[in-house]
Structure 1
Amino acid sequence: MAEIPTPTTGYSAPTKSRPLGVTILAILLILGAILNLISVPGGLILYGALYTGYTALIGIINLIIGIALFQMIPWSRMAAIIMQVISLVIGLALSVVLGGMLFGALGISIMLMAMLPGIIISLIVIIYLMQGSIKAAFEGAQW
């Protein structure tokens, strides 16, 4: 009679563990991307095609990166870092340009304060994904 494999017998593929922070980041990216994509039809009416196209593109890119992070695909870590750097640059540039155009130096200060939570979150994500243990977890992933 043939033996029925149990969890303690037979071959089991090596498991890789996904760090909790990566799981949380992936879920947040996926949810944010879905919200971006849901907002596209309304954005066309309010903001026009250029801004809405940008929003849709960012939503699609973040959805792909979020799914790839969840699956621990090695390139997704660097892609997430690059997207956060882009977010930082755009956030800082918009703060300076829009704040300066609207209200001068005071406007820049106000815009930077408004952008501060996003700047802090981007920096935390970049620092987290650059940690040696996180990098090693992605390098150890076999795909």
Structure 2
Amino acid sequence: MSNQRPTGVTILAVLQIIGAVLNLLIGGFSLLFGGAMLTAGTAGTAGTADAAAAAQIGPMMAGFGIAGIISGIIGLIGGYGLFTLKGWGWTLAIVFAAWNIISNLIAIFTKVGNVAGAIVGIVISGLIIYYLSQSNVKRAFGK
């Protein structure tokens, strides 16, 4: 394993950690917001349209929050793996970039979400895979 981390890997690791922290924050707020909506839906406004909407949206928001928190934790672990040049960090980054390409392709073909954003996500993930596949980068991870 190389003793020197390529600059691009450092950049990817820092971006990964920043994204993970944002996922944790957004996930935490979504979980809190979903719980508050669920509580409001079962509180004093029972039987109203607002209560019914809150009772439906609250669990969904809480679910998104839990997914965001899990994604943030995995992202922190992956960022650590990249930063410390762990082989599993490289593998995790490749798997998540590939997953991002697949999920964005699904979004494009099902017309769910922003097509331009999905295309940008595909391009960025493709560039990440290309960069991580360079021989000097793979060598730094012992691959």
Task: Give the TM-score taking structure 1 as reference length.
Answer: 0.73
* Equivalent in 130, 134, 139 of residue 133 of structure 2: 130
In the alignment, which residue of structure 2 is the partner of 1:70? 83
Q: In the TM superposition, what whole-angstrom CA distance separates every residue of 1:75-100 from its partner, at most 9, and x where no partner exists? A: 11011000111111112212322x26
Equivalent of residue 59 in structure 1, options 61, 66, 72: 72
Shift of 1:137: 1.1
Does 2:124 correspond to 1:121?
yes
Task: Give the distance between the partners of 2:25 and 2:114, measured in 1 at CA.
Answer: 26
Q: Which residue is 1:80 aligned to?
A: 93
Q: 1:93 aligns with which of 103, 106, 114?
A: 106
SS in 1 for 2:130: helix
Q: Which has the higher contact order (CA 8 A, sep 6+)?
A: 2
Q: 1: distance between equivalents of 2:98 and 2:92?
A: 10
Counterpart contact for 1:72–1:138, Cα < 8 Å: yes
8 Å CA contact 2:28, 2:69 repeated in 1: no
% identity of equivalent residues: 34
- The list of structure 1 runs, each at least 4 consecutive aligned residues, that deviate by more than 4 angstroms after superposition, is none
Determine the C-alpha separation between the residues in 2 that align with 1:139 and 1:69: 12
- The Cα of 1:114 is off from its aligned counterpart by 2.8
